[in-house]
Amino acid sequence: MSGTKSKVRFFRGPELLASVKISSKTPFAQIAENAGVDIPTNCTSGNCGTCLVRLINGLVKLPEPLPPGLDEYLVDQGGILSCCLVPEDDCDIDIIPPL
């Protein structure tokens, strides 16, 4: 994504909350906050899962091993931790977690 701009769109279900262009490796929670979208956070390190959101479309590189706040089931449901993961390309995010 270096030197290019990606678009991140935030939804609550079908409702579009914000659409922003970004050009740096910024975590989703910070992008959302800058766009006026509230995603709850707590630990900001991927341990607690408070910031869990659903990746609808797009590319996010997951760390190995997965952080404690994320497991394979949540990943299979589209779950990502917005406090510590960053978009690799255009992404659509539903702020309603996949629970």
CATH number of the domain to which 38 belongs: 3.10.20.30
Please write the tens of the pLDDT for every residue from 29-65. Answer: 999 999 999 999 999 999 999 999 999 999 999 999 9
The pTM assigned to this predicted structure is: 0.92
The boundaries of the domain holding residue 21 are: 6-94
The token pair that represents 98 in the structure block = 């996949």
Query: How much of the chain, in percent, has pLDDT values that exceed 90?
Result: 89
At residue 21, the pLDDT reads 96
User: Using CA atoms, how far apart are residues 80 and 10, in angstroms rounded to an integer?
Assistant: 13
Considering its fold, how many domains does the chain have in total? Answer: 1
- The DSSP symbol for 6 reads E
Residue 18 domain-assigned (yes or no): yes
CA gap 66, 68 in Å, rounded: 6
Q: Is residue 1 domain-resident?
A: no
56 falls within a domain: yes
Q: Is residue 40 part of a domain?
A: yes
